[in-house]
């Protein structure tokens, strides 16, 4: 199949974008799509807008020629969105999406109802990058495209540990490795390597975490005061929720990240029986069965009590 090439064939001004605060799957899909389309259509005006791209994925755009932090001033013929389960998740790019002549959504979130004119949504897929791979011709995937796709798949599968990892996921990853992806180096850089500051923040967060429900739930809070003390930014919190999730005996991990006074970004991870997407959807967020998130206002205790009530109902 070469659906992606056909999608862009009649468009000249093309915007590729994803959700606010893009993660590895979102970044990988956007950069892979850009490189693929540029190889076929070098004369088209193709732009990638991602707001602020995480530094750890900068190697996918080493010369900073692909991803823009500034919203392009244009009325696009086509907008392609990745890894965004709703229009609201596009942030500033909503303006371009609504003014576009045509739109395409490529996503794997079960909560996505299909908000674009053309939708490629597969909730059984491990990642948006897995869906994107199947919209490309394998023969036309070069090393740069393979690197971006591989990292996106690795990110959303927790390096192939999550239940969303299927036989097909592994087969696709294998084909991408055959293109020459130095996966061993990239996985270290993106998933396991930490700065000393990040290690300190992780240690502080784990030290102040709490076990609830007879050890089936672990909760941790990252306050603005902690972030200021360590001079950390949002990217420095990456991986902390996963460290909480793998605590022995824990079914659900909750990480509260304070964004404003009595306002928290809530990240949820589960191991087996709890569907955290249902909980996140109830509170206006979304995600997947084992990984989801949302925003919530209130005191720390109120937020935790509201969430754990839903977890207890499922347990």
| Spatial separation of the C-alpha atoms in residues 293 and 188, rounded to whole Å | 25
Which of 36, 252, 18, 1 is closest to 140 using CA atoms? 36
Q: What is the DSSP string of 52-71?
A: S--GGGGGGSTTS-SEESS-
- Please give the chain's pLDDT, 315 residues, in tens: 689 999 999 999 999 999 988 999 999 999 999 999 999 999 999 999 998 888 888 889 988 889 988 888 889 999 999 999 889 889 899 999 999 999 999 999 888 889 999 999 999 999 999 999 999 999 999 999 999 999 999 999 988 988 889 999 999 999 999 999 999 888 888 888 889 999 999 999 999 999 999 999 999 999 999 999 999 988 899 889 999 999 999 999 999 999 999 999 999 999 988 999 999 999 988 878 888 899 999 999 999 999 999 999 998
Does an H or E element contain 259, and which? strand 252-260
Phi–psi pair at 244, nearest 5 degrees = -70, -40
**Span 75-122, pLDDT tens digits:** 999 999 999 988 988 989 999 999 999 999 999 988 888 999 999 999
Dihedral angle at the C-alpha atoms of 274, 275, 277, 282, nearest 10 degrees? Answer: -80
Query: Does CATH number 3.10.310.30 belong to domain 196-314?
Result: yes
| Spatial separation of the C-alpha atoms in residues 48 and 62, rounded to whole Å | 15
Lookup: tokens for 141: 């995937």
**Any idea how long the chain is?**
315
Q: Is 216 helix (H, G, I), strand (E, B) or coil?
A: coil
Boundaries of every domain in the chain: 3-191, 196-314
Does an H or E element contain 107, and which? strand 102-107
The CATH H-level superfamily of 3-191 is: inorganic pyrophosphatase (n-terminal core) (3.90.1640.10)
């Amino acid at each position: 199949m070469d659906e992606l090439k056909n999608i862009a064939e009649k468009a000249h001004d093309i915007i590729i974008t994803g959700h606010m605060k893009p993660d590895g799957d979102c970044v990988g899909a956007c950069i892979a799509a850009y490189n693929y389309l540029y190889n076929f259509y070098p004369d088209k005006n193709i732009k990638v807008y991602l707001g602020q791209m995480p530094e750890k994925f900068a190697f996918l755009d080493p010369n900073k020629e692909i991803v823009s932090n500034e919203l392009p001033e244009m009325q696009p013929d086509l907008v392609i969105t990745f890894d965004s389960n709703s229009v609201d998740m596009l942030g500033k790019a909503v303006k371009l999406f609504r003014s576009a002549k045509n739109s395409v959504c490529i996503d794997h979130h079960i909560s996505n109802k299909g908000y674009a004119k053309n939708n490629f949504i597969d909730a059984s897929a491990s990642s948006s990058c897995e869906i994107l791979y199947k919209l490309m011709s394998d023969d036309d995937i070069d090393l740069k495209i393979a690197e971006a796709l591989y990292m996106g798949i690795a990110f959303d599968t927790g390096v192939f540990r999550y239940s969303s990892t299927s036989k097909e996921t592994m087969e696709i990853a294998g084909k991408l490795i055959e293109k020459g992806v130095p996966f061993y180096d990239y996985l270290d850089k993106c998933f396991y390597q930490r700065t000393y500051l990040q290690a300190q923040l992780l240690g502080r967060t784990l030290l102040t975490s709490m076990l609830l429900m007879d050890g089936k739930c672990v909760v941790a809070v990252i306050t603005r005061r902690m972030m200021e003390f360590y001079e950390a930014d949002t990217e420095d919190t990456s991986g902390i929720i996963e460290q909480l999730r793998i605590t022995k005996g824990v079914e659900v991990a909750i990480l509260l990240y304070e964004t404003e006074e009595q306002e928290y970004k809530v990240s949820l991870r589960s191991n087996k029986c709890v569907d955290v997407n249902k909980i996140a959807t109830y509170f206006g967020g979304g995600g997947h069965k084992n990984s989801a998130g949302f925003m919530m206002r209130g005191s720390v205790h109120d937020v935790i009590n509201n969430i754990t009530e839903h977890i207890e109902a499922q347990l």
